Amino acid sequence: MTTRQPRTWSGRRPTLEEVAAHAGVGRGTVSRVINGSPRVSERTRAAVEAAIAELGYVPNNAARALAGNRTDAIALVVPEPERRFFAEPYFSDIVHGVGIALAETEFQLLLTFAGSDRERQRLAQYLAAQRVDGVLLVSVHADDPLPDLLEQSGMPAVISGRRSAEETLTSVDSDNFGGARDAVAHLVARGRRSIATITGRLDVYGAQRRLDGYRAALVEAGREVDEELVCPADFTEEGGRQATAELLERRPDVDAVFAGSDVMASGARQVLRSAGRRIPQDVALVGFDDSAIARHMDPPMTSVRQPIEEMGREMTRLLIEEIAAPGRRRAGAAGRRGREQLVLPNALVVRESS
Amino acid sequence: MTTRQPRTWSGRRPTLEEVAAHAGVGRGTVSRVINGSPRVSERTRAAVEAAIAELGYVPNNAARALAGNRTDAIALVVPEPERRFFAEPYFSDIVHGVGIALAETEFQLLLTFAGSDRERQRLAQYLAAQRVDGVLLVSVHADDPLPDLLEQSGMPAVISGRRSAEETLTSVDSDNFGGARDAVAHLVARGRRSIATITGRLDVYGAQRRLDGYRAALVEAGREVDEELVCPADFTEEGGRQATAELLERRPDVDAVFAGSDVMASGARQVLRSAGRRIPQDVALVGFDDSAIARHMDPPMTSVRQPIEEMGREMTRLLIEEIAAPGRRRAGAAGRRGREQLVLPNALVVRESS
DNA sequence: CAGTACTGTGGGAGCGCTCCCATGTGTGAT
DNA sequence: ATCACACATGGGAGCGCTCCCACAGTACTG
């Protein structure tokens, strides 16, 4: 550990006390003005504001944080290395949504990467050091201990997606079930007979829900679910390829594939192509995420779009709500304990692959 | 020693004072241990560290910041909207470099966007509120008032690139002059006779230096600089297209183009192609930045690579240095006042377009 | 006209640290 | 043994705020 040194630069800034003296009022009154308390007369408020402007006063945040036990900052925790964060448009959209929601508040956003274990450790320290009032968690892996850690600590937190049907943290998710159901219903409406699905890792709750949606759509169409058409994979392109190869062998009559992610769909497409199947003439293909992959695929691919920016906005809104009313829990549908679980609708974007 | 569980973080956290009581020492001693002061005996240090571990003590940063007048945080200020930030690999590399340099320190990184005026205003407040010890400025526009603002305030700051030949802030730049000179020398060596250049906005210092490098390479090769071959543009693809179209009209004999950025080179390529010029047979093309554009162009394009990650590392190193030794100025080449101006070498990456 | 209920205001008491001075306590030289 | 001077240590004095209690002033009640 290194020795710390005082780090002072440039001249002293005016303090609350100085503003108070300048305005001829007490310290408390200036504080009230700064914090927008209604218990200040118009005259006094004007005088104080003039003094603030004249001295160029800006409150010292460290002091506010210490005295008020709050920081006016929230952290967006990304349990990924920087590179992946920048590579995926998902994060960009989330950050944008968060930024929009935050613009109307006094909160500052801290972007925190926790890709390596070392970074995770520092993060835990950081959060414990009470540098933020709340945490937004995105892209959480199933085995990540961070959410539980946060929950135990009582730190307000909102998670994107749910870890299970009984998520205990406040969460914002997209309607994976509905999105998948719509996609498959679309394939049914297009007259496809043998509709297969390639799933993501089923220990990821969202992947499970997409599979559930697939099943529901078939049942609603009065069809039976043929388990031979359900191909488990792992969200990767290679997984998509492999699952598709096996599928073609098992069920050469397949005429539609609903993939649980665009990336897996991309793998599927490669195998379908090299097997001589035309898209969409022989086999229709639908993905999930509506990422750049879907738009740039040849042919452009039908995919389920998640309202990611809106998710970012809603996460932020819920987090701020939770910070404002700590410990408050909202009644769930069943009226039992639990924090809010917000689910936003997805939209099917139809393109030429189906 | 009993391996009692560190108390969970819920509720009140232990304070310095409590740790001191637990270890049977004074407050000051615990502070010294935490801050790595050498003036503590081994025995005492061990006792304190045990108490810290047992209580799960983590220092309160707000209190530290207030008492010590420092925050252990630096801000990376990006005067761009989020979208562009994520879109450009430049930023990703910078952040990565910064992260590497920071990993060995206690500093936390704050990512701050200041794309809109509103965000700029908040940023100024933020900095004034003493939330950070220093600022890294990247991608600063020529007319941005922020650098001057920071300089006036005395806040330690490091800028990427220079705003002019006499940059007054500490800066880290790549050798635009040398990179351009190498690129053009390479074209000369390839036997090209009429070498044109498409420049970026010349009020951007880096663009000017690239043009200077172009000229120097020609002079060094014993050639005259033909001003008809110098095409001013604006860093955009459209600008590259337009400049190239005019160039072809003015000087149909052109057999090489050095563009001041890959994006402009991409525009140039389109026009050259549609004019029936083959690359590299008829016209050689060299870009600047070595971005994804260069690698994925058809044919893959020769380009000047900037050591962006290293720039991020060096910026961070210099900033921390400046924070540690406030007000210190390093002697420039002329022995006059001025902060360090670091210039890192560029490398020409030769591909098939030249 | 006392009694009650406000509203507006001042300022004490911390928040949890760091800084620094005063006070031990041990070492070596004389 | 005596002095000098290290080093180790305890704790007071803030850092600049927010919180909250006390009190003055004003405006209604009955």
pLDDT tens over chain B, length 354 residues: 333 334 344 457 899 999 999 999 999 999 999 999 999 999 999 999 999 999 999 999 999 999 999 999 999 998 877 777 776 778 888 988 998 999 888 898 888 888 777 777 778 777 878 789 999 999 887 788 889 888 888 899 999 999 998 999 999 999 999 999 999 999 999 999 999 999 999 988 999 999 999 999 999 999 999 999 999 999 998 999 999 999 999 999 999 999 999 999 999 999 999 999 999 999 999 999 998 788 878 899 999 999 999 999 999 999 999 998 765 554 444 334 568 999 999 999 999 999
Q: Provide the pairing of β-strand A347-349 with A302-305.
A: antiparallel
Nearest beta carbon to residue B62 from set A71, A82, A128 = A71
| pLDDT of res. B23 | 95
Q: How many CA atoms lie within 13 A of B178 on its CB side?
A: 11
What span, in angstroms and rounded, lies between the C-alpha atoms of A91 and A78? 9
More confident site: A25 or A87: A25
Nearest beta carbon to residue B113 from set A8, A99, A129 = A99
- Based on the fold, state whether residues A60 and A181 are members of the same structural domain: no
Q: Residue B11: exposed, middle, or buried by beta-carbon count in 10 A (0-12, 13-18, 19+)?
A: exposed
Q: How many CB pairs under 8 A join A and B?
A: 131
What span, in angstroms and rounded, lies between the C-alpha atoms of B166 and B153? 19
Does the structure show a pLDDT above 80 at A138? yes
| pLDDT of res. A282 | 97
Closest-approach residue (CA) in chain B for A98: B82
Count of positions (residues) in chain B: 354
Determine the structural domain holding residue B38 and report its residue range. 16-64
CATH code at B278?
3.40.50.2300
Query: Is B89 within a domain?
Result: no
In the block, which residue shows the tokens 């500093």?
B107
Query: Is A186 within a domain?
Result: yes
Interface mutation vs chain A, best among B58, B74, B102, most A CBs within 10 Å: B58
Sign of CA dihedral A68, A134, B132, A101: negative
Domain count, chain A: 2
Interface contact A13-B128, CB threshold 8 A:
yes
* pLDDT tens digits along A250-298: 999 999 999 999 999 999 999 999 999 999 999 999 999 998 788 878 8
Tokens encoding B246: 């005019």
In the block, which residue shows the tokens 């402007």?
A53
What span, in angstroms and rounded, lies between the C-alpha atoms of B329 and B332? 9
Distance C10 C1' – A135 CA (angstroms): 38
* Amino acid in the structure at residue A316: T
Query: Nearest nt (C1') to A39 (CA)?
Result: C8
CB of B60 within 7 Å of some strand C atom: yes
What is the torsion angle, in degrees rounded to the nearest 10, for the CA atoms of residue B127, residue B128, residue B130 and residue B134?
Answer: 40
Query: Is A310 within a domain?
Result: no
Boundary (domain end) residue, out of B49, B64, B79: B64
Instruction: Output phi, psi for A165, to 5 deg.
Output: -65, -25
What span, in angstroms and rounded, lies between the C-alpha atoms of B310 and B94? 8
Does the structure show a pLDDT above 50 at A326? yes
Query: Is B218 within a domain?
Result: yes
Query: Is B124 within a domain?
Result: no
For the beta sheet containing B170-174, the strands, ordered from the edge strand earlier in sequence to the opposite edge, are B108-113, B73-78, B134-137, B157-160, B170-174, B341-344
Query: Nearest nt (C1') to A29 (CA)?
Result: C9
Query: Is B237 within a domain?
Result: yes
Interface mutation vs chain B, best among A12, A55, A57, A66, most B CBs within 10 Å: A66
Of B344, B351, B342, B314, residue with least CA distance to B136: B314
Count of positions (residues) in chain A: 354
Which chain C nucleotides are covered by protein, judged by CB under 7 A? Answer: 7-21
In the block, which residue shows the tokens 């320290």?
A125
| pLDDT of res. A259 | 97
CATH code at A44?
1.10.260.40
Of A274, A110, A284, residue with least CA distance to A196: A284
Q: What is the mean pLDDT of residues A87-111?
A: 86
Q: Minimal Cα–Cα distance from A7 to chain B, Å?
A: 6
Interface contact B156-A9, CB threshold 8 A:
yes
Closest-approach residue (CA) in chain B for A121: B103
| pLDDT of res. B11 | 58
Nearest beta carbon to residue A82 from set B99, B108, B110 = B99
Query: Is B119 within a domain?
Result: no
What span, in angstroms and rounded, lies between the C-alpha atoms of B180 and B174? 11
Q: Minimal Cα–Cα distance from B312 to chain A, Å?
A: 14
Instruction: Output phi, psi for B310, to 5 deg.
Output: -65, -35
Whole-structure pTM value: 0.84
CB of A40 within 7 Å of some strand C atom: yes
Closest-approach residue (CA) in chain B for A15: B129
Query: Nearest nt (C1') to A58 (CA)?
Result: D16
Query: Is B254 within a domain?
Result: yes
What span, in angstroms and rounded, lies between the C-alpha atoms of A96 and A308? 9
DSSP 3-state percent helix, strand, coil across chain B (nearest 5): 45, 15, 40
Which chain D nucleotides are covered by protein, judged by CB under 7 A? Answer: 7-21
